[in-house]
Structure 1
Amino acid sequence: MEREVLAGGGEAMAKLEYKAAAAAAAAGKQISLVRLIFSCMVAGGVQYGWALQLSLLTPYVQTLGLSHTLSSLIWLCGPVAGFVVQPCVGLWSDRCRSRFGRRRPFILVGCIFICFAVIVIAFSSDIGYKLGDTKEDCSIYHGPRWRAAIVYVAGFWLLDLSNNTVQGPTRALMADLSVTGTHGCSKANAIFASWMAIGNILGYSSGASGKWHEWFPFLSNRACCEACANLKGAFLVAVVFLLLSVLVTSIAGREEVAPSTVEERVGIMEIFRTIKNLPPKMPYILLVTSLTWLSWFPFNLYDTDWMGREIFHGDPKGTPAQMKAYDNGVRAGALGLLINSVVLGVTSILIEPLCRKFTTRIVWVMCNFCMFICMAATAIISSWSVHSYHGSIHDAIISPDGSVKAVALVVFAVLGAPLAVLYSVPFAVTAQLAANEGGGQGLCTGVLNISIVIPQVVIALGAGPWDGIFKKGNMPAFAVASVFAFVCGIVGLFVLPRLSTKNFKASAMSSLH
């Protein structure tokens, strides 16, 4: 009983301290909309690199020797890192009393490591060449390059760790600033989603261009041919944009933090003990978020590979014609993701009025049913493409059916709308619950990320073997994704809390009094 009383007292103290810090910040200067927008610019910088990671890296790693089945396993680090890193960094940033603020130190350090990881990935072929991979010219040798693959995987995992270090504090910073201002959590998360859309547009444009080896010919060498040089150029530009964006965020995202009145230990076990103080409605948000990402992650993992294999009928390890067709398909997939990001940006502006009219629950459920239709369509389009193709592996030129390609790009475009909801609504609802209950924006955002990374682990471990069982490329993973999306829509209709964004601002501000 004594332990329960102490635990209850600790929980109450944590909530009171969070509200005291928020009240002290609210007493400061109200943030303008322009400053709120630029405070989140780092999200665009991080998303630029993330877009390149999604569109180019799964196809690229297959050229280094990893099979299509094994390529999904390298994505395991992101979920594992997110499971541990985001809750830890979230709570540490909640209780950080640096003179530079609570969130910005973590954002800055994470961005520095992102830049280092991106450079390692970009030059993995060159490093592998120096470490003793084949000395043959890359235009002739198409076999495995294991040293380059090891360097690539190390850089990839460091990139995921760094991304998780930045994303949680950035979300929490936006929640902090919106609570202290007059704009509300919903608008702040819409701004965040818009910056992600901008980052996606820039990143997918870079991935789709395929001209970096021409603009920067010095990036090509014996170890790094056209596709590799394009990867280098795109990632080096991503580093420049990220450094610019983190500088703007550091200047615009000024924080006013109340000093701590209680001496606290913030160890690993303390972090997991603090999770029990989450708002009571959070488990429902976590459940629906997990189911949603179970349907999204197969597409994130294999979207450009799907275009290269099923739509363009290419093979990264096949004949020269097949390799060319695969590269064309990857670039077409990057174009599809670019269109997807434009729709994402436009939809982000419309989310707040839609939630006002229909409530967040209905908007989120509509998002899941839209995903169900699109994911089912990808499996149908794959089957259509395979059955309509009558080419031979000896063809000098392999090209896709024009109608199949057009419909595939339409699916990419339509998926931008539910993606905007997924990038915005769960985080806005979480921010509101944290503001009402005083649970800590950083911790709640970090725990929400756990509901995202667990599905990623499931898909990363299961997608490759699942595809291998049916020998159907990416179609089985997409079919399972459509099932999860449908189930998620049904579950969300019954368990999601009935919240409307018209109450976001009022409830956030009332929690300060």
Structure 2
Amino acid sequence: MAPSVSSACAPKVQQPRLPFWQVWNLSLGFLGVQFGFSLQNANASRILSDLGADLHALSLFWIVAPLMGLIVQPIVGSASDRTWSRFGRRNPYILFGAVAAALGMALMPNAGIVVALVAPILFGAVMLALMDAAFNVTMQPFRALVADMVPSQQRTLGYSIQSLLINIGAILGSMLPFILTNVIGLENTSRGGAVAPSVVWAFYIGATVLLGSVLWTVVRTREYPPSQYNAYKGIEAEQLQQEGQQQRSLGQRLGGFCQLLIRMPRTMRQLALVQFFSWFALFIMWVYTMPAITQHVWGVEAKWFDPAYLEAVGEIPAQIAAAKGAAGDWVGIIFAAYSLFAALFSLVLARVAQTLGRKRTYSLSLALGGLGYIGFLLCQGGTAMQVDLLITQVSVPSGALGLLVPMVGVGIAWAAILAMPYAILSDSLPASKTGVYMGIFNFTIAAPQIVSALVAGLVLKTVFQNQAIYIIVLAGVSMILAALSVFFVRESQPEAQILGAGDAG
């Protein structure tokens, strides 16, 4: 409902700086969300392949992720902008999304048990859609919560902490199936179209971590009441009250939404090109890293990803199943590695941006990510090496170990993608429309992923003959184009105003 205040115009009051740990608590729930999201990113292609998906069709299954973001985030953003309750403004949506996401995580790897009712691959796709919708319900209010609660001079710090926590969650989530196999001893190979036990239990644990961390943020974060929020943002309360009382038809709502699109800040339009190329590349990485390194590093031929061939063969040879299981686990390790490098870079991101400028920092980071993807080509096969990962030792081809080097660049790019667009954008947004504009900005994340989903599988099949390593190189080229596109962005405010001396502490 609309906020109830009596003054015609709430005078703008200086929003207080927040203690470091309060900024930390604001984003702690994102650790759990990313824990679950990283489990999905590292294992969804593995699960869908086990359930019978074609290699070149994987991107089409993954299309549900950006579609859910495209549909859900603007709706949730607009709704949370208008929500004022005793439970908060953004918190109810964050909590609801977390509960739904945890449910999807518990059900997806168990697709095999419903084979009598519905095809496992269909059930897996539906659960993937449920998880993605729920993740988006949770993520969008988290972005807006930082903009609501953190004053402008701490905004880059707020998003940098969010980036750090996101990457801590990603490290833990990505590594979990590997840990469950190599430390706990759970089996990592699939049998008879079922999902590997290590992956099943990883999803159960991920659902628990997700709910626990989100509850921490919801309980520890007290959102500003309407009168206080309006005073900090300089919003005319009487106008908001009138808007809340107006009954608008669906056509009027759609018309108003289109007007928001037309009048979006110039900075948002310019960032859209950068977002297109960077998220086009990220989507390819998430979908095709597993088959790419299985083929290029472990030497498994593309035919072993063809359901028709697998059906004709009858049973997958033990060495092929073992190679695919080992490669799938190693995807978790290298995804954890890029998340670790991203977390480390997040610690100095605000300082680097203050020194080099936000645009230079952003562009250089994306360029390093592009070079990282292209560097996958250099990591092929090799002799078996014993690797000490502190928690366990594992034998992998030397090419697998070499993949950790490209992950440095990918991690730096990921840290910048999580923080810099929002830091650049946030101060160009009207305070009363922050949530809906953050939702609209998600179009620039969802649209390139949808394009990638529709195009990447076709390119992989017709141009690269299902050799997945080359689609990763294509991702590298796209990321370098994103780096070049940054220089077309014009910031709406001087950097000094936003990246002040106290911003990183």
How high is the TM-score relative to the length of structure 2? 0.82
- The residue number in structure 2 matching 1:376 is 374
Residue 248 (str. 1) matches residue 216 (str. 2) = yes
Cα 1:224–1:365 change in 2 (3 A) is: same
1:117-176, Cα deviation, whole Å (9 max, x unpaired): 111202212222xx26xxxxxxxxxxxxx7111111110001111111111110100111
Q: Which residue number corresponds to residue 271 of structure 1?
A: 257
For 1:200, give the aligned amino acid. A
Match runs of 1:394-413 below 5 Å? 401-402=397-398, 404-413=399-408
TM-align CA RMSD:
3.1
Q: Which residue of 1 aligns with 2:434?
A: 441
Q: 1:222 to 1:303 in 2, by over 3 A?
A: closer
For residue 161 of structure 1, what is the aligned residue in structure 2? 133
> Residue 12 of structure 1 aligns with which residue?
none
Q: Where do residues 33-432 of structure 1 align in structure 2 (5 Å cutoff)? A: 33-128=20-115, 131=116, 147-179=119-151, 184-211=154-181, 227-258=195-226, 260-262=240-242, 263-265=245-247, 269=254, 270-314=256-300, 315=304, 317=310, 318-378=316-376, 380-381=377-378, 384-385=380-381, 401-402=397-398, 404-432=399-427
Distance 1:230 1:22 in 2: 56
Q: Provide the rounded CA distance (Å) in 1 between the counterparts of 2:297 and 2:469.
A: 11
> SS of the counterpart of 1:433?
coil
Instruction: Please tell me whether residue 485 in structure 1 is matched to residue 479 in structure 2.
Output: yes
C-alpha offsets along residues 246-288 of structure 1, whole Å, 9 cap, x if unaligned? 1111112211132642224575513333333422322111221
Question: Residue deviations 1:33-83, cap 9 Å, x none?
Answer: 212201211111110011111111101211111111112111111111211
Counterparts of 1:20 and 1:441, CA distance in 2: 19
Q: Secondary structure at the match of 2:241?
A: coil
Q: Does structure 2 retain, via aligned residues, the 8 Å contact 1:201–1:342?
A: yes
Check the 8 A contact 2:180/2:202 in 1, yes or no.
Answer: no
Residues in 2 aligned to 1:20 and 1:307: alpha-carbon distance in whole angstroms: 60
> Contact conserved, 2:292 with 2:472, CA < 8 A, in 1?
no
CA–CA separation in structure 2 for the residues paired with 1:296 and 1:499 = 29
Corresponding residue number in structure 2 for 1:9: none
Provide, for residues 318-368 of structure 1, a one-character-per-residue CA deviation record: whole Å limited to 9, x for no partner.
Answer: 422112111111111211111111111110011101111111111111122
CA contact (8 A) 1:430 1:445 kept: no
**Contact 1:168–1:445, Cα closer than 8 Å, also in 2:** yes
8 Å Cα contact 1:360/1:498 also seen in 2:
no
Amino acid at match of 2:94: I
SS in structure 1 of the partner of residue 83 of structure 2: coil
Q: Alpha carbons of 1:284 and 1:99: their partners in 2 closer, same or farther (altered >3 Å)? A: same
Match for 1:473: what amino acid? Q
Q: 1:475 corresponds to which residue? A: 469
- Alignment partners' CA distance in 1, 2:31 and 2:454: 29
Change (3 A) 1:64 1:472: closer
Helix, strand or coil for the counterpart of 1:324?
A: helix
CA contact (8 A) 2:362 2:420 kept: yes
Residues 1:21 and 1:212: Cα distance change in structure 2 (over 3 Å): farther
- Distance (whole Å) between structure 2 residues aligned to residue 74 and residue 265 of structure 1: 39
Change (3 A) 1:121 1:42: same
Please say which of residues 206-215 and 419-428 is displaced more in the overlay: 206-215
- Residues 23 and 301 (structure 1), Cα distance of their counterparts in 2 relative to 1, 3 Å cut: farther
Verify the 8 A CA contact 2:190 2:196 in the aligned structure 1. Answer: no
Contact 1:21 1:257 in 2 (8 A): no
> Unmatched 5+ residue regions in structure 2?
1-5, 228-239, 311-315, 384-394
Structure 2 vs 1, CA of residues 498 and 88 (structure 1 numbering), >3 Å: closer, same or farther? closer
Over residues 457-486 of structure 1, what are the superposed CA-to-partner deviations in whole Å (9 max), with x where a residue is unaligned? 111111111111121421332232222222
Can you list the C-alpha shifts for 1:479-501, whole angstroms capped at 9, x where unaligned? 32222222222222233438665
Give the AA of the match of 2:165: W
1:200 shift after superposition = 0.5
Q: How has the CA–CA distance of structure 1 residues 274 and 20 changed in structure 2, closer, same or farther, with 3 Å as cutoff? A: farther
| SS of residue matched to 1:98 | coil
State the 1:87 CA deviation. 1.3
2:435 aligned counterpart, secondary structure = helix
Amino acid at match of 1:147: A
Counterpart amino acid of 1:426? P
Q: What does residue 391 of structure 2 align with?
A: none
What TM-score, normalized by structure 1, do the two folds share?
A: 0.81
Deviates most, 161-170 or 463-472: 463-472
Cα separation, 2, equivalents of 1:487 and 1:63 = 34
* Alpha-carbon contact 1:94-1:441 (below 8 Å) kept: yes
Counterpart of 1:231, as a letter, is: V
By how many angstroms is 1:221 displaced? Answer: 11
Identity of aligned residues (%): 20
Q: Distance in 1 between matches of 2:67 and 2:10?
A: 31
Q: Quick one: structure 1 residues 32 and 125, their matched pair in 2 at CA, closer, same or farther if it must change by over 3 Å?
A: same
Deviations 1:395-429 (A, max 9, x none): xxxx8641x22222211233111110011100111
Q: Which amino acid aligns with 1:85?
A: V
SS at match of 1:211: helix
- Are the counterparts in 2 of residues 288 and 492 from structure 1 also a CA contact under 8 Å? yes
Check 1:447–1:223 CA distance in 2 against 1; reply closer, same or farther (3 A cut).
same
Distance in structure 2 (CA, Å) of the matches to 1:96 and 1:58: 37
Matches within 5 A, 1:489-508: 489-497=483-491, 501-504=495-498
- Is residue 153–residue 498 contact of structure 2 (8 Å, CA) maintained in 1? no
The corresponding residue for 1:457 is: 450
Report Cα offsets for 1:206-227 as digits up to 9, x if no partner.
032243996679x9998786x5
